[in-house]
């Protein structure tokens, strides 16, 4: 199973109209562009995918559009996490029915931050998800969003009740390594994916070969090139590209919120990707000019907006 989840998986942004409706054409444009740039799969309806800004029915509709556009060419991990187990299971069954390669769920949020759930409740939540579908269930670890701090000991217990993979967005290389060690001791086929391409090089060097890369929404060619250099054991090139990724991530966050910067860069490349849903906002004109100029300096864009690499 692990091999299926290697490579670069963009956490796909969702396209909206100015009035806040789902913009199907924009979603299809983004997916088509990402496939053309050689990504290895998709992580959909996650944090970059505006999941908590949508209703359950909207999340289902977005998943349907993306699956229809991908047409089975690449694996899709569908994030199905909700505040309740019931809603999470509903989304998981829907994703499985569409043909998702796996489902992922963040820890049940909102009340987690108030210490409402002990470990037994978290374990039961994931056990219920895993029992509801035949495809692998992933733990999506994002403590800043969920309010819940995962430990490697708890992850090992989750593996025992059927969790077969994880996306770790803790931002800590040490924790990522600890999670991978704890999970693979329980199941050698466990698929551990980094939730940050900023950690791709060190993660690859300890055996973690899958990355859910927000950078890959805007610059899929950069993230894919980094992965290819690592696969080829071209350490000098991978060092150069990893440093470039780190610089790119900083300028994409010019507005203070990196996911929203994805739309700006895609538009600079001529991709009709729609816009964000409020209360998100796209970078303003001053921020967008800064992003473009800095990307040109890094060689990521040309003046005409096309890729510089």
On whether residue 234 sits in a domain, the answer given is no
CATH number at residue 50: 3.20.20.70
The domain tally of the chain equals 1
DSSP assignment, residue 109?
-
> What mean pLDDT comes out for the span 160-186?
97
Compute the residue count for the chain: 309
Give pLDDT tens digits for 38-91: 999 999 999 999 999 999 999 999 999 999 999 999 999 999 999 999 999 999
Q: Is residue 50 situated within a structural domain?
A: yes
Domain assignment present for 28: yes
* Residue 21, in any domain of the structure: yes
Give the model's pLDDT for residue 267.
97
Q: At what angle do helices 56-70 and 24-36 cross, to 10 degrees?
A: 40
Does some domain include residue 178?
Answer: yes
Residue 35, classed as helix, strand or coil, is helix
Residues pairing with 141 in the sheet? 168
- Supply the pLDDT for residue 110: 86
In a domain, 108, yes or no: yes
Residue 292 lies in a domain: no
Whether residue 247 lies inside any domain: the answer is: no
Residue 309: the pLDDT is 57
By CB atoms closer than 10 A (0-12, 13-18, 19+), residue 56 is middle
Q: Which domain holds residue 13?
A: 2-220
Confidence check: pLDDT of 249 > 60? yes
Are the C-beta atoms of 276 and 16 separated by less than 8 Å?
yes
CA separation for the pair 238, 104 (Å, rounded)? 29
Contact 122, 150 (CB under 8 A): no
Identify the pLDDT of residue 145. Answer: 86
């Amino acid at each position: 199973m692990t091999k299926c989840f290697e490579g670069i998986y963009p956490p796909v942004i969702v396209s909206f109209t100015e009035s806040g409706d789902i913009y199907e054409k924009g979603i299809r444009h983004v997916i088509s562009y990402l496939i053309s740039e050689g990504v290895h799969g998709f992580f959909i309806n996650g944090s970059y995918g505006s999941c908590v800004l949508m209703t359950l029915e909207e999340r289902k509709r977005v998943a349907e559009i993306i699956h229809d556009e991908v047409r089975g060419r690449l694996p899709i991990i569908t994030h199905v996490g909700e505040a309740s187990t019931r809603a999470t299971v509903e989304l998981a069954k829907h994703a499985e029915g569409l043909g998702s390669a796996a489902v992922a769920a963040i820890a049940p949020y909102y009340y987690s931050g108030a210490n409402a759930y002990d470990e037994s409740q978290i374990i039961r939540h994931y056990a219920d998800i895993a029992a509801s579908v035949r495809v692998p269930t992933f733990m999506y670890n994002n403590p800043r969003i969920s309010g819940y701090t995962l430990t490697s000991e708890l992850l090992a217990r989750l593996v025992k009740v059927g969790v077969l993979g994880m996306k770790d967005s803790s931002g800590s290389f040490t924790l990522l390594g600890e999670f991978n060690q704890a999970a693979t001791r329980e199941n050698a086929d466990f698929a551990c994916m980094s939730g940050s391409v900023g950690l791709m090089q060190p993660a690859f060097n300890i055996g973690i070969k899958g990355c859910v890369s927000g950078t890959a929404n805007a610059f899929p060619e950069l993230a894919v090139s980094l992965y290819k250099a690592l696969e080829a054991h071209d350490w000098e090139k991978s060092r150069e590209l990893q440093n470039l990724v780190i610089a790119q991530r900083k300028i994409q966050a010019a507005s203070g919120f990196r996911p929203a910067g994805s739309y700006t860069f895609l538009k600079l490349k001529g991709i009709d990707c729609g816009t964000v849903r409020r209360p998100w906002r796209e970078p303003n004109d001053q921020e967008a000019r800064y992003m473009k100029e800095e990307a040109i300096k890094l060689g990521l864009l040309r003046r005409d907006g096309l890729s510089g690499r």
